[in-house]
Structure 1
Amino acid sequence: MSDLVIRNANLVDGSGAAARHADVSIDDGSITAVDGPGAASPGRREIDADGLLLTPGWVDVHTHYDAQASWDPYLTPSSWHGVTSAVMGNCGVGFAPAAPDRHEWLIELMEGVEDIPGSAMTEGITWDWESFEEFLDALDARHYALDLGAQIAHGPVRGYVMGDRGAANEAATAADIAAMSAIVESGLRAGALGFSTSRTPLHKSLSGDLVPGTHAGADELMGIADALGRVGHGVFQFAPDHAEVPTSEMPWMRELARRTGRTVSVNLNQPNGAPDLWRDVLGLLDEARADGLDIVAQVAGRVVGLLMCLEGSFNPLDFHPAYGPYSALPLAERVQALQQSELRDALRAEPDDGGLFRTVVLDSIDSWWAVDDGDIDYEPEAEDSIAAVAQRTGTHPIDLIVDQLCAHDGHGMILTPFFNYAYGDLSFQYEAHRHPSTRMGLADAGAHCRVICDGGTPTFMLTHWTRDRRRGPLLPLEHVVHRQTRQTAELYGLRDRGLVAPGMRADLNLIDYDRLTFGPPRMAYDLPGGARRLVQKADGYVATFVNGVQTVEHDEFTGELPGRLIRGPR
């Protein structure tokens, strides 16, 4: 008898093949058989999956759990959304290697780039390591609700080798490059899945300094990347200045891929200032693929947008001097004050601030949308923007803004996209997700805690793209499942997962597809020290299995923690 048999499931196996009904047998954490419905041998435990969707567990290759892995065995939000394997250490920031006198600097770097509260990291990180190898050992000693892999990041490596010179983005010497390359090689041999860096001017530390390595020359990038070539595994991942990718970045990316034989993975978003730049990038990826160079772009599943609320990092009222005396009051008192005509009248009056409030708020509301209390609409219509509603109803936009922020006892939110909505819809993502040289990524689970909440993107990929989209064509369910299972697993050499087939790991999701959904983000105060973060849970995960062990039952944790550190490719 098998340990577990899931019978009569609607199986989408992760390969991209058409859905089919099947029985799946599991023993000792592995899939042992995939049979036609009713054909499996008996199991010690059996699940009747009639009417349910069975998929591999999601493999999310772009997370930022480098700090959270110290204190949260459940690694939420990912484990709420069917993720069974996650890769962290992206975009050049992380916490190893870490000299004892660099801890606070690394925290400020992460807080500035990824908006993770510094107080939570100061209280929660255990720092039972100095080298990257010791960091992996510390992770290896812990148990999680999902498997976790790590990349070694440029920022901490540069700070460790070069000290203040590295933090200040001074040019690396030949000796510096050799030392950094040696650290990266040692980390890869110990089990790192890749190396990451950042070259975007958007990524700055809490003090406003650019991430170490932002202006690294080709000699530094190649010297470090040679470590990947010597070891024979690992992805070179980086966050670019989007405008530079087709010009100054692509030549060295091509040379690095050619020289090392390793995959180069570049983040790709659609900035409003260059809405068609992505087409040039995809064309260059086609050329690279034709030339046998392994260069791919990670793309997001939805808009990258700010969620403004009274509990968040900022809201539109923060830019009006009349709100200043109330901004530090407890939430309930602020909501009460905002209902009073005296404050409302003051907020409607445009301040004498040189036009700042008009520029930041009043001139921007055509790209702001109120977030309903049901499923959040990440592809909203222009006619539903705050500006359009104000004009249509004759309501002052400040009243709409205040009413929305005060809704749901002060938990109301306003969405404003800043990436991936330049066309006023998600047509960029639709095209990008169909391209052979892109990969699913950029949900940033664990990061941007107080103003962005995209860790639930794996669920959104099913609900929006395969079932609910109204403003354009859908993507095939089999394609979307493949995108965030087998394809992402293979990107990092994790060939033992992401596919429902005999011999593969039993990492699985059993989903009530017809009712799969998620609510609006909410602010939670559950980080160490009571620090805040936006959270968004799912509804419809009947079961999630990691290595054959059930971790989720009807959207609630079972308490089992079968997840372990992933050391190197499989």
Structure 2
Amino acid sequence: MTKPSTLIIRGGTIVDGTGHTAFTGDIKIVDGKIDQVGVVTGTADQEIDAKGLLVTPGFVDIHTHYDGQVTWSNQVASSSQLGVTTVVMGNCGIGFAPCNPEHRDIMMRLMEGVEDIPGAVLQEGLPWNWSSFPEYLDALDARSYDIDIATQIGHAPLRIHVMGDRGAAREPARDEDIETMARIAAEAVEAGALGFSTSRTILHKSSDGMHTPTLGAAEKELAGIAMGLKKIGKGTLQLVTDFDDVDAEFAMLRRIVEQSGRPLSLTLLQHEHLPDRWRRVMAHMHDATDAGLKMKAQCGARPVALIFSFALTLCPFSQLPSYEALKDLPHEARMTKLRDPEVRAAILAEEHHEEMYKRRVANFENLYKLGDPPEYEPKPEDSLAALASRAGVSAAEYAYDYLLENDGKSMLYRPLYNYFEKNLDVLREMLMDRDTVPGLSDGGAHYGFICDASFPTYLLTHWARDRSRGEKIPLELLIKMQTQDTAATVGLNDRGLLKPGYKADINIIDFENLHLHGPTITYDLPAGGRRLGQRADGYRATIVSGVVTYRNGQATGELPGRLIRGAQSL
């Protein structure tokens, strides 16, 4: 009989995920589960001195898009490098299963467009050793990771799998289509998917400009799929929607939850053009949860923001003819051109004509330098427009010259959502709402213009310790939000707490010295693909299933992470 493996964490400041006050104590782990919490006597195979350090549950990130990355990489970066021990993929209705060979190009174009994962990366990286969703799970189950992964079946691949070109063209689903989608969704959940996800936002387009196949899907279709999950009594629902008509859209979602009995979570954002609309969404949410329905809104830890650079997908000069003429050049050749005074003058002489693009990408009043350490709650006086005014040059000139620095890798930060008041007070209000959970990190996606896998780390550093422009949030509550609460939202009730019997996913953190570095650009994807990554100082150790996976930010090479099949309980 094999001797149980044991690990004792000694003398740490334990923040156990319940929201209760931190206390000093030990934790004993036996065979990947927490055995004792408090005063632990005796010895173990391994001991870690955590005196003066925080000991917390590992973070559970329920909104990521590592669906492709986990088929070619054992490292779920950047999340696994930032204290996250469980990720949930398959959000926003997209993914790669089910998918027959004739539909692979459609799904890759959709992922390329919606999540900014280059087509060449997907072409080389995806092994496509599956067709059905259970086969996709089997492919993931055959691999090992540095953290645990879980996934959902996306509406887009499901719709195209069942309806083919009709589904891609967003034609209404027939009764037999809905019945088949409901059956396959239920089979996926029975095989281990956590649930079903969909997208209803006009912003989600494939790389060839086509709207996501699920945009405008009828209530009958969504309800039919949800009722498929009701039949088996399993699975969650997740969606993103524009809420163009808040009352009508939420009423539909409420009916679906009432009829199916399945829990639902949705994306919550403050939009610049309708800054108070989110409050109406939450008013409906409160009414629904008061009536006993299981619904949560996912909100961010900071603004959902775009990152601009001459070395990335976007910059304030994107779509201008003279700039676009250079976009396919290798980086060094493009930089040589961009340093040419004549090219600079030509680009600066051009203007954006598409008003929405100009507002989003070339809005110098809400565009900021992003350095190291990064400032994610910048002040209005630090905008490029303000800096340029003080320097006596135009904002466009100031931006151009700044982006030339650091060999064209200098970055600009454009808070797109949750920053209408030019501070994060609105996000504090969201985070403190009884019906929200932290989410929306989009880890594994937007490789060239978003880097938000660090949301869980920022939740701690900014909101519990560093914030100077408004109220903070107690550390114990923040830990609960990012561990127990997120885990419970998707039915992972075996983790997120430091209590006997729970999964031993743990962070040991030097909280005073926990600091995020600025995003960096690496070229470690298949086909030499580019991605934004981010690291942090202060994580002394991250433990997954009782095994140390990271020490002082460096991977140990251990891969205890596995695919999670379905909801979990003790």
Q: TM-score, normalised by structure 2?
A: 0.95
CA drift of 1:407 comes to: 2.1
Picking from 6, 13, 29, the partner of 1:3 is 6
1:249 aligns with 2:249: yes
Paired amino acid for 1:255: R
Between the aligned partners of 2:352 and 2:112, the Cα distance in structure 1 is 30
Q: In structure 2, what is the equivalent of residue 449 of structure 1?
A: 447
CA drift of 1:341 comes to: 4.4
Q: In structure 2, what is the equivalent of residue 28 of structure 1?
A: 31
Paired amino acid for 1:262: R
Percent identity between matched residues is 44
Q: In structure 1, what is the equivalent of residue 161 of structure 2?
A: 160
3-state secondary structure, aligned to 1:444:
coil
Change in 2 beyond 3 A, CA 1:464/1:409:
same
Change in 2 beyond 3 A, CA 1:360/1:488:
closer
Change in 2 beyond 3 A, CA 1:534/1:5:
same
Q: In structure 2, what is the equivalent of residue 528 of structure 1?
A: 526
Paired amino acid for 1:429: L
Q: In structure 1, what is the equivalent of residue 85 of structure 2?
A: 84
3-state secondary structure, aligned to 2:91:
coil
Deviations 1:306-335 (A, max 9, x none): 111011112123344454565555434544
Preserved CA contact (<8 Å) 2:229 2:235: yes
Q: In structure 2, what is the equivalent of residue 401 of structure 1?
A: 399
CA drift of 1:370 comes to: 1.1
1:212 aligns with 2:199: no
3-state secondary structure, aligned to 1:43:
coil
CA drift of 1:284 comes to: 1.1
Structure-to-structure mapping, 1:94-173, within 5 angstroms: 94-173=95-174
Change in 2 beyond 3 A, CA 1:93/1:323:
closer
Structure-to-structure mapping, 1:174-193, within 5 angstroms: 174-193=175-194
Preserved CA contact (<8 Å) 1:347 1:398: no
Change in 2 beyond 3 A, CA 1:323/1:478:
same
Picking from 482, 489, 498, the partner of 1:491 is 489
Deviations 1:389-413 (A, max 9, x none): 1112323323321232122232101
Structure-to-structure mapping, 1:20-59, within 5 angstroms: 20-36=23-39, 39-59=40-60
Q: In structure 2, what is the equivalent of residue 316 of structure 1?
A: 316
CA drift of 1:355 comes to: 8.8
Structure-to-structure mapping, 1:109-508, within 5 angstroms: 109-244=110-245, 246-323=246-323, 326-335=326-335, 338-339=338-339, 341-348=341-348, 350-351=349-350, 359=358, 364-372=363-371, 374-508=372-506
Aligned residues: 565
Between the aligned partners of 1:326 and 1:259, the Cα distance in structure 2 is 54
Q: In structure 1, what is the equivalent of residue 540 of structure 2?
A: 542
Between the aligned partners of 2:529 and 2:438, the Cα distance in structure 1 is 30
Preserved CA contact (<8 Å) 1:24 1:40: no
Between the aligned partners of 1:211 and 1:333, the Cα distance in structure 2 is 35
Change in 2 beyond 3 A, CA 1:9/1:355:
closer
Paired amino acid for 2:515: T
Change in 2 beyond 3 A, CA 1:334/1:264:
same
Paired amino acid for 1:502: P
3-state secondary structure, aligned to 2:143:
coil
Moved more, 545-554 or 535-544: 535-544
Between the aligned partners of 1:386 and 1:453, the Cα distance in structure 2 is 21
Between the aligned partners of 2:90 and 2:138, the Cα distance in structure 1 is 16
Q: In structure 2, what is the equivalent of residue 551 of structure 1?
A: 549
Q: TM-score, normalised by structure 1?
A: 0.95
Between the aligned partners of 2:293 and 2:42, the Cα distance in structure 1 is 46
Preserved CA contact (<8 Å) 2:189 2:566: yes
1:13 aligns with 2:16: yes
Deviations 1:277-298 (A, max 9, x none): 1111111111111111111111
Preserved CA contact (<8 Å) 1:2 1:25: no
Preserved CA contact (<8 Å) 2:15 2:56: yes
Deviations 1:260-307 (A, max 9, x none): 211111111111011001111111111111111111111111111111
Change in 2 beyond 3 A, CA 1:360/1:224:
closer
Between the aligned partners of 2:137 and 2:286, the Cα distance in structure 1 is 36
CA drift of 1:194 comes to: 0.6
CA drift of 1:363 comes to: 6.6
Moved more, 331-340 or 79-88: 331-340
Deviations 1:103-125 (A, max 9, x none): 11111111111111111111111
Preserved CA contact (<8 Å) 2:316 2:361: no
Change in 2 beyond 3 A, CA 1:187/1:291:
same
Between the aligned partners of 1:74 and 1:414, the Cα distance in structure 2 is 28
**RMSD in angstroms over aligned alpha carbons?**
2.0
3-state secondary structure, aligned to 1:16:
coil
Between the aligned partners of 1:6 and 1:351, the Cα distance in structure 2 is 61
Preserved CA contact (<8 Å) 1:242 1:269: no
Preserved CA contact (<8 Å) 1:319 1:357: no
Between the aligned partners of 1:354 and 1:256, the Cα distance in structure 2 is 41
Between the aligned partners of 1:469 and 1:494, the Cα distance in structure 2 is 31
Q: In structure 2, what is the equivalent of residue 61 of structure 1?
A: 62
